[in-house]
């Protein structure tokens, strides 16, 4: 569609607000969910259970059943799975080494920092082709017309 796919994520104000609300609700634990895009714009923040066995306050994990549920949600909305979001309670909105290990190429990863129950910075990341690091992308709030 355009050459900037892979570095920018367009998202509706409603979906952005849903991510913020989810992060605040689950504080002090991490929240996670899938982002569904329709026509190149993320329109839906689809909540997923945090299935990590290591404690939801520290890590998030998208399991195979979550992945399937996210794809089903995308089909339902006639869109596609654009990526995943999760929160960093009392931590900056930067990916951890664990996030890097869990990441798949070609998806957008949105991280929201939640500090003392208040939603903070929200950032967007992409895995580099060689999978050695994340590259920060741009999160663009799309005004619905």
The CB-of-23 to Zn ion minimum distance in angstroms stands at 12
* Token code pair at residue 18: 């849903």
Rounded to a whole number of angstroms, the distance between the first and last alpha carbons of the chain is: 20
Residues 36/10, Cβ–Cβ less than 8 Å: no
The stretch near Zn ion (CB under 5 A) out of 31-39, 43-51, 97-105, 135-143 is 97-105
- The alpha carbon dihedral of 20, 25, 28, 32 has a sign of negative
- Closer to Zn ion by Cβ: residue 66 or 99: 99
* Token code pair at residue 32: 């996670």
- Closer to Zn ion by Cβ: residue 51 or 96: 96
66 binds Zn ion (CB under 5 A): no
Q: Which of 44, 99, 110, 122 binds Zn ion (CB under 5 A)?
A: 99
The CB-of-89 to Zn ion minimum distance in angstroms stands at 10
DSSP 50: -
- Closer to Zn ion by Cβ: residue 16 or 110: 110
The CB-of-32 to Zn ion minimum distance in angstroms stands at 9
Taking CB atoms, the residue at the shortest distance from Zn ion is 99
The residues, ordered by sequence, that sit 6+ positions from 109 with a Cβ below 8 Å of its Cβ are 83, 84, 85, 86, 95, 99, 103, 124, 125, 126, 127, 134
The residues, ordered by sequence, that sit 6+ positions from 92 with a Cβ below 8 Å of its Cβ are 113, 121
- Closer to Zn ion by Cβ: residue 57 or 77: 57
- Closer to Zn ion by Cβ: residue 8 or 61: 61
The CB-of-98 to Zn ion minimum distance in angstroms stands at 7
Interacting residues with Zn ion (CB under 5 A): 96, 99
């Amino acid at each position: 569609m355009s050459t900037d796919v892979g570095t920018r994520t367009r998202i509706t104000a409603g979906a952005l607000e849903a991510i913020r609300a989810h992060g605040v609700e689950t504080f002090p634990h991490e929240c996670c969910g899938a982002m569904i895009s329709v026509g190149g714009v993320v329109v839906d923040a689809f909540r997923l259970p945090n299935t990590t066995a290591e404690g939801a306050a520290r890590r998030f994990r998208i399991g195979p059943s979550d992945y399937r549920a996210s794809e089903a949600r995308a089909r339902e909305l006639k869109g596609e799975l654009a990526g995943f979001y999760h929160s960093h309670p009392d931590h900056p909105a930067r990916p951890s080494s664990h996030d890097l290990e869990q990441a798949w190429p070609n998806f957008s990863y949105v991280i929201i920092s939640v500090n003392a129950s208040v939603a903070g910075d929200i950032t967007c990341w992409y895995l580099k082709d060689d999978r050695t690091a994340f590259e920060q992308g741009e999160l663009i709030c799309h005004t619905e017309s």
